[in-house]
């Protein structure tokens, strides 16, 4: 290949990102008879799973407890056996929408590519929130890392980021890193969570903190970072119910490393450059039940749509996106979209739109806005009727729930999701 020429490739479907979502999307598109290309900016397929060497992956899909790399390897083997071309180390510079296709301008060490596809599947995952987004005061010395970066250091590069470590935020990656760093010989001073409840899964609180006697401090946060070249300590402070600092509760803690586990945000620069509408609640594209965004021909799946707790549901959304993209390029039917909203009892839900002439079996994913511990029902409000989709004994914002239901849809009808507290009538 001449490095000065642009290589033109035509395909039916281009999948952007080769984490579990992109791998599942490419497999299902290929299995449904389409020509597919997979594009990944890193040098290996598998996405974030490559660095998640703990187990707990695949419980729903395989009924097995796999590590991240084991889970990814199953899909990578299938992708190879299906002969799906995978471009790794490939960076997408720009995507242009044409009348009936998309043109991806890409570059890798072999040269420049112009890939034309009839449909695009975005499976670009999410990125971590950093210190800039949490108003952390004080210096910015060495020794402050996001939890995912610390995980990369330990599990891929073989470096220990510190020995006396404070973790800010109780997201799942931080909890998993608290255990991982302890096993590698570091001392975790504590996990400090500003909210009154942990934001990670209950099973991670039990297995990663309680089992290792790592203290979790709720309604408490890191106020200031100290140190010039290397971090030397932090000041932590308690907060009241409204999140305001409680004067006089400040405490200095000596540490050589601060790890941030303060949330993830879907990565959607490419979606936005193509005018894909983004849901302010999820920070990912609005999608219908087929993972089709509001731009015809652009599908999205996995953590680029909303942040998942379980990889199994990430793969499931990729499978739906892959088969839907094939169906769409085969008949290009105009969609009839109905808005599916929620009231303020729900933090967010997917899908936010329903194509009422399409598949009526809807896989609904949602998180509650607050913890409901008195049993509650999740209701679907249509025109004048309310249907209870499912009752729950407990609902927590940290745990994504799934309900599959058959919608009897009519044109011009809006749907709304609502959580109603039943106070014991389970």
Q: Summarize as ranges the residues that interact with ligand FAD (CB under 6 A).
A: 16-22, 39-42, 47-49, 52, 56-57, 92, 123-125, 148, 151, 172-173, 176, 267, 270, 302-304, 308, 310-312, 314
Residue with smaller CB distance to ligand FAD, 30 or 308: 308
**CB-based burial, 152-167: b 16+ in 10 Å, e otherwise:** bbbbeeeeebbeebbb
Shortest approach of ligand FAD to residue 18 CB, angstroms? Answer: 6
Q: Between the CA atoms of 47, 53, 59 and 65, what dihedral angle is there, to the nearest 10 degrees? A: 150
**Nearest residue (CB) to ligand FAD, 71 versus 328:** 71
Three-class SS state of 303: helix
Minimum CB–partner distance for residue 425 and ligand FAD (Å):
33
Q: What is the DSSP string of 307-325?
A: --S-HHHHHHHHHHHHHHH
Q: Which is nearer to ligand FAD, 270 or 295 (CB)?
A: 270
Q: How far apart are CA 239 and CA 219, in angstroms?
A: 5
DSSP codes joined into one string, 88-107: -S-EEEEEEE-SS-EEEEEE
Instruction: Compute the distance between CA of residue 320 and CA of residue 299 in angstroms, rounded to an integer.
Output: 10
Q: For residue 83, count CB atoms less than 10 angstroms from its CB and return exposed for 0-12, middle for 13-18, buried for 19 or more.
A: exposed
**Which CB, 41 or 226, lies closer to ligand FAD?**
41
Q: How far is the CB of 86 from ligand FAD (least distance, A)?
A: 11
| Strand spans (E) along 169-208 | 187-193
Minimum Å distance from CB 9 to ligand FAD? Answer: 15
Q: How far is the CB of 243 from ligand FAD (least distance, A)?
A: 26
Q: What is the dihedral of CA 51, 124, 120, 342, to 10 degrees?
A: 120
Residue, CB closest to ligand FAD = 19
Minimum distance from residue 42 beta carbon to ligand FAD (Å):
4
Q: How far is the CB of 225 from ligand FAD (least distance, A)?
A: 23
Specify the residue, 174 or 233, whose C-beta has the smaller distance to ligand FAD. Answer: 174
- The least CB distance from residue 75 to ligand FAD, in Å, is 10
Question: How many angstroms separate the CA atoms of 329 and 381, rounded?
Answer: 33
**87 versus 356: smaller Cβ distance to ligand FAD:** 87
Q: Distance between CA 27 and CA 33 in Å, rounded?
A: 10
Region of 424 on the Ramachandran plot (φ > 0 left; ψ -120 to 50 alpha; else beta): left
Decide whether 47 or 169 has the Cβ nearer to ligand FAD.
47
- Closest CB to ligand FAD among residues 237, 271: 271
Strand pairing class (137-138; 220-226): parallel
């Amino acid at each position: 290949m001449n490095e000065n020429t642009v290589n033109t490739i035509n395909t039916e479907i281009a999948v952007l990102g080769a984490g579990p979502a992109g791998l599942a999307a490419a497999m299902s598109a290929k299995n449904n008879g389409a020509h597919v290309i997979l594009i990944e900016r890193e040098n290996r397929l598998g996405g974030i799973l490559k660095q998640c060497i703990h187990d707990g992956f695949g419980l729903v899909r395989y009924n097995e407890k796999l590590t991240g790399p084991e889970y990814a390897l199953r899909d990578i083997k299938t992708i190879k056996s299906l002969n799906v071309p995978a471009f790794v180390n490939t960076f997408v510079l720009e995507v242009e929408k044409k009348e009936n296709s998309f043109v991806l301008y890409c570059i890798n060490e072999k040269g420049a590519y112009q890939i034309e596809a009839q449909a695009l599947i975005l499976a670009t995952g999410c990125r971590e929130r950093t210190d800039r987004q949490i108003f952390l005061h004080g210096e910015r010395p060495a020794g402050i890392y996001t939890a995912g970066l610390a995980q990369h250091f330990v599990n891929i590069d073989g470096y220990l980021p510190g020995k006396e470590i404070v973790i800010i935020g109780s997201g799942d990656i931080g909890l998993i890193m608290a255990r991982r760093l302890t096993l590698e010989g570091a001392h975790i001073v504590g996990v400090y969570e500003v909210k009154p409840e942990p934001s990670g899964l209950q099973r991670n609180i039990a297995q990663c903190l309680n089992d290792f006697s790592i203290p979790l401090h709720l309604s408490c946060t890191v106020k200031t970072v100290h140190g010039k070249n290397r971090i030397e300590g932090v000041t932590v402070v308690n907060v009241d119910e409204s999140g305001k600092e409680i004067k006089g509760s400040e405490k200095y803690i000596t540490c050589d490393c601060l790890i941030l586990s303060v949330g993830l945000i879907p990565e959607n620069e490419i979606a936005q450059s193509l005018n894909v509408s983004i849901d302010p609640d999820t920070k990912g594209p609005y999608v219908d039940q087929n993972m089709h965004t509001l731009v015809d021909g652009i599908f999205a799946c996995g953590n680029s749509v909303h942040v998942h707790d379980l990889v199994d549901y990430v793969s499931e959304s990729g499978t739906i996106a892959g088969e839907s993209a094939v169906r769409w390029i085969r008949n290009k039917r105009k969609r009839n979209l109905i808005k599916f909203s929620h009231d303020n009892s729900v933090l967010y839900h997917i899908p936010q739109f329903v194509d009422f002439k399409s598949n009526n079996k809807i896989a609904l994913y949602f998180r509650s806005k607050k913890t409901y511990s008195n049993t509650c029902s999740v209701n679907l409000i249509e025109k004048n009727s309310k249907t209870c989709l499912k009752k729950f004994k407990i609902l927590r914002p940290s745990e994504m729930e799934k309900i599959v239901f058959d919608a009897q849809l009519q044109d011009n009808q809006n749907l709304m999701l609502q959580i109603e507290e039943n106070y014991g009538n389970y």
